[in-house]
A and B are shown apart, each in its own frame.
Chain A
Amino acid sequence: MSAVLAASRQGGRHPGINLGPAHRDADESAEELLFGFWVFLMSDAIVFGCLFATYVIMLPSTAGGPGPRDIFEIRSAFIETMALLFSSFTYGMASLSLKYGPSAGPLVAWTLVTAILGGTFLRFEVMDFLSAFEKGAGPDSSGFASAYFALVPLHGLHVTFGIVWMIALLVQLWVYGVDKDVKLGFLRLGLFWHFLDIVWVAIFSIVYLGGLA
């Protein structure tokens, strides 16, 4: 175990992907920044935790309106899950390109693929919301619908923000090349993106599967 730890810390002290000796300057300032971002994610996780608890409490509060069985389509949720999980994989490829890639090309390509998969996720999610509205299950219809429309769109907003961040980083990369700040930006975005994946796994399990169970 300690050997693994030692290996993972070789060339860098920060928690996250090691940039290695070729990126010494980024490596040294990375530790504080990345640790800070981890701490922020812990705080954000509490936000989602509160909303999950609210959802579970409000699940029976349909007030005579449509319930989970009336509005959830597991097929669409499954497509969203696949898109997001796959985007985490492609972002992993982007991170590896950042570390090992001889040029910025693969990094840009994998980031674009990730952004497209994120967009696909959002497209299906928005369809879910529209169909819920059509079935009369807008957020004003019941406590259950309120809880659903607070938790799931908040995750969607995070994904939207992540995509905007990707675009901003790609523009930075275009302007400055793969400099220290771009590298640190991609590292933090990676944490953020994988965090959203984990939150989505919880949403799929608790909101969709839990709601339909």
Chain B
Amino acid sequence: MDWRYFWLGRLSLEWLPFWDAVRHPNVDTIVNDVIATFAASLVIIGAVVVAGLITWFGRWRQLWSEWLTSVDHKKIGVMYIVLAFVMMARAIVEAALMRTQQSFGLYGGFLSAHHFGQLFTTHGTIMIFFMGMPFLTGVINYVMPLQIGARDVSFPVMNSVSLGLTAAGAALVMISLVIGKFSTGGWSGYPPYTETAFNGGVGPDYWIWAVTLSSLGSMMTGVNFAVTVYKKRAPGMHFMRLPLFTWTALCTAILMIFAMPPLTVATLLLALDRYLGFHFFTNDGGGNMMNYANLFWMFGHPEVYILILPSFGVYSEVFSTFSGKTLYGYVSLVLATMAIAVLSFTVWVHHFFTMGQSPDINAAFGVATMLIGVPTGVKVYNWLWTMFRGRVRFTAPIVYGLGFMMLFVIGGMSGVMLANPTIDYQVHNTLFLVAHFHNVLIPGLLTGMLAAYHFWFPKAFGFRLNEKWGLIAAFCWIVGFMLAFFPLYALGLLGFPRRTLAYTDPQFLPYMLIAGAGACVVLAAFASLVIQLRVSIRDRGLNRVPVGDPWDGRSLEWSVSAPPPEYNFAFLPRVTSRDAFAVAKDNGTAYRRPEKFEDIEMPKNSALGFILCVSGFLIAFGLVWRMWWLVVLAGIAAFGAIVVRGFVRDATRIIPASEVEETYINWLREVAAAQPATRGEEFEPTNEGLAAHPFVEAPQ
């Protein structure tokens, strides 16, 4: 028996990122391995520094009891968003590296094809599964229960398990920098290229298990959110009174429930092919790789709307709040959101128009695709009319929103072009496509989430973010995006294929240089966000908003203190209309004291999410490297933890009415002591989160 293989599987020193340069030193391997080793050391140094700081400040116990085992939807939301920012940092640096390579790519450049392949694969995988999904899941987690007047999501422990699985997938992508190579098959991992016959290494395995963990987590998240919206709304919070962000959260949850399973099936069937010699997508043995394309995009297209709908919700709240007006055309926005959610399941074939279906099928899917433009257009008009005759404050979220509206319409237009199969045949697999989906996803996902981050940060932490750096970041994102991606439209029309390392035609060069400059501006945008956070924390004493309503908000999340108590609402609000909190402020019923307080039952902390995070990661790691003993042990741990959880009886604790009352009365004292802030002093230290009664002249 080969004991080394038994314990370590395929793992060996050769998989360290500098091995090639040590064995075969030449300019090529040295340049690539220095970059890879630098990235790997950043992962290790980052982990060591974080662990060191926690030890230095003696915060391990606090980390464990207040964060890792917490089932509070607000803390889970914050942890999702922290994860998203960490992963975003890596994926943006990778994007900049790819742009740099292509700027030098005339006759070569400095990266090897394999390195470049890993870069575009990890960039896409991270941005979709470990930046976009965690960010929107985090924002929904934080905001949605507060908006519907609930004390938590329906299944708080499952919520922490979802976070654990997503984090395990993210950790797998990060560890792949240190040991082994990631897949070079793109974020969609198409076989047969990702089959053993062409890719025997660990790369596709890393990709398969990272994505599988994330898809399981997202499926559970979808169940959790949908049930929460259906069952946990406060009295009087009818469906047609839900804030629009909650509507988009509901649609996103429904899409997750139905769209995640095809992805899980696709990745697991690919895993069966790779691990047990099945013939689903192989070239031989009756395999059919078209089946993978169908399964993957049956997930992949609804996924696009999972990513974009929450941002639509955020912008709806932002435009309405910062224009001081109720949302224009609420019902049509709800219908448009639902229409998009339904239509998103009918268009998946447009991702592979060129892969051999009959023209009739292509035409049908092309028409369905164009149809999605209609409800989306409805939304854009709604937002415009929301701002119309409002007193618009040009804060960072609304700057993101304005940039979004302009850029998203352009991206949508190029999408309608691509929906036409005859045009798609010309530009498919070129940079035109890359330009298109970045043009919808950056304004439609990323800046939407950043707007949400600015908008709700004071609610979560009790102080506002620095506005100056927020505006700088917003302008850098918008300008950087335009510089980095508009040239790609031209390059695509000139026939430049996507995922290409180098080129020999000098006419591509000027566009590549502009795009490279754009990448630098995007890097500056991310740096501005980091500086903003640093400055905001430093100046937090001047930006406190303990009363909790810094923007003269309209929905229930603004009606509680910032940060809110663990149980969110000292007493459940009674809702009588849309814009519940705005109406309460108008009627003078905000900040009232209830006749009596009641005990509140809240879920106890649970380590299940953390245990499944660690064991999920170990199972996946063992599967990647074929360390079967690890797979079995971690599998037993995960299974045992789930069974044991079934035996837990004492899962809730009571917060006594007296404690609730004391916290609430103390907060009411702060409310009484605060000076009402007008909208003109939104960013002054005098804005303690109590809004002066709004503009009488704006139509309400």
Stretch in contact with the other chain, from B166-174, B226-234, B516-524: B226-234
Work out how many contacts link A and B, with CB atoms closer than 8 A: 110
Interface assignment of B545: CB less than 8 Å from any CB of chain A: no
A31-B231, A39-B257 as given contacts; A51 in contact with B265, CB under 8 Å: yes
Pair B279/A146 contact, Cβ less than 8 Å: yes
Interface assignment of A46: CB less than 8 Å from any CB of chain B: yes
Stretch in contact with the other chain, from B48-56, B59-67, B72-80, B287-295: B287-295
Q: A143-163: which have CB < 8 Å to B?
A: 143-147, 149-150
Report the nearest A residue to B256, measured CB to CB: A43
Pair B279/A140 contact, Cβ less than 8 Å: yes
Interface assignment of A168: CB less than 8 Å from any CB of chain B: yes
User: Which residue of A36, A42, A140, A150 contacts B155 across the interface (Cβ within 8 Å)?
Assistant: A36
Report the nearest B residue to A45, measured CB to CB: B261
* Residues in A neighbouring B284, C-beta threshold 8 A: 63
* Residues in B neighbouring A44, C-beta threshold 8 A: 261
* Residues in B neighbouring A42, C-beta threshold 8 A: 257-258
Q: Which residues from chain A sit less than 8 Å from chain B, CB to CB?
A: 31-32, 35-36, 39-40, 42-44, 46-47, 50-51, 54, 57-58, 61-63, 139-147, 149-150, 164, 168-169, 171-172, 175-176, 179, 181, 185
A39-B223, A143-B287, A179-B649 as given contacts; A46 in contact with B280, CB under 8 Å: no
Interface assignment of B101: CB less than 8 Å from any CB of chain A: no
User: Which residue of B223, B227, B258, B276 contacts A139 across the interface (Cβ within 8 Å)?
Assistant: B276
**Contact pattern, B 143-161, Cβ under 8 Å of A = 1, otherwise 0:** 0000000000011000000
Q: Which 9 A-B pairs give the minimum distances between C-beta atoms? A: A143-B286, A61-B286, A140-B277, A63-B286, A46-B261, A146-B278, A50-B265, A47-B261, A36-B227
Interface assignment of B272: CB less than 8 Å from any CB of chain A: yes
* Residues in B neighbouring A179, C-beta threshold 8 A: 649
User: Which residue of A39, A46, A58, A141 contacts B226 across the interface (Cβ within 8 Å)?
Assistant: A39
Whole-angstrom distance from the CB of B220 to the nearest CB of chain A? 8
* Residues in B neighbouring A50, C-beta threshold 8 A: 261-262, 265, 295, 298
Whole-angstrom distance from the CB of A201 to the nearest CB of chain B? 20
Pair A140/B278 contact, Cβ less than 8 Å: yes
Whole-angstrom distance from the CB of A199 to the nearest CB of chain B? 14
Whole-angstrom distance from the CB of B179 to the nearest CB of chain A? 29
Pair A142/B227 contact, Cβ less than 8 Å: no
CA distance A203 to B164 in the complex (A): 34
- What are 25 A-B contacts defined by CB distance under 8 Å? A32-B154, A32-B227, A36-B155, A36-B224, A42-B258, A43-B219, A46-B262, A54-B265, A54-B295, A140-B277, A140-B278, A142-B279, A142-B286, A143-B287, A143-B288, A144-B286, A145-B279, A146-B279, A146-B287, A150-B280, A168-B646, A169-B646, A175-B647, A176-B649, A181-B649
* Residues in B neighbouring A171, C-beta threshold 8 A: 647
A39-B257, A46-B258 as given contacts; A57 in contact with B291, CB under 8 Å: yes
CA distance A62 to B286 in the complex (A): 6
* Residues in B neighbouring A32, C-beta threshold 8 A: 154, 227, 231-232
User: Which residue of A39, A58, A140 contacts B288 across the interface (Cβ within 8 Å)?
Assistant: A58
* Residues in B neighbouring A145, C-beta threshold 8 A: 279
CA distance A35 to B257 in the complex (A): 14
Pair B269/A54 contact, Cβ less than 8 Å: yes
* Residues in B neighbouring A147, C-beta threshold 8 A: 280
CA distance A8 to B346 in the complex (A): 36
Whole-angstrom distance from the CB of A57 to the nearest CB of chain B? 6
CA distance A143 to B226 in the complex (A): 37
4 new A-B contacts at CB < 8 Å, known A50-B261, A63-B285, A179-B649: A35-B231, A63-B286, A140-B276, A185-B646
CA distance A128 to B277 in the complex (A): 20
Report the nearest B residue to A50, measured CB to CB: B265
Pair B286/A47 contact, Cβ less than 8 Å: no
CA distance A66 to B272 in the complex (A): 20
* Residues in B neighbouring A40, C-beta threshold 8 A: 223
Report the nearest A residue to B154, measured CB to CB: A32
* Residues in A neighbouring B382, C-beta threshold 8 A: none
A143-B286, A168-B643 as given contacts; A149 in contact with B278, CB under 8 Å: yes
CA distance A5 to B273 in the complex (A): 48
CA distance A90 to B280 in the complex (A): 38
**Contact pattern, B 175-216, Cβ under 8 Å of A = 1, otherwise 0:** 000000000000000000000000000000000000000000
* Residues in B neighbouring A149, C-beta threshold 8 A: 278
Pair A54/B280 contact, Cβ less than 8 Å: yes
* Residues in A neighbouring B280, C-beta threshold 8 A: 54, 58, 143, 146-147, 150
* Residues in B neighbouring A39, C-beta threshold 8 A: 223, 226-227, 257
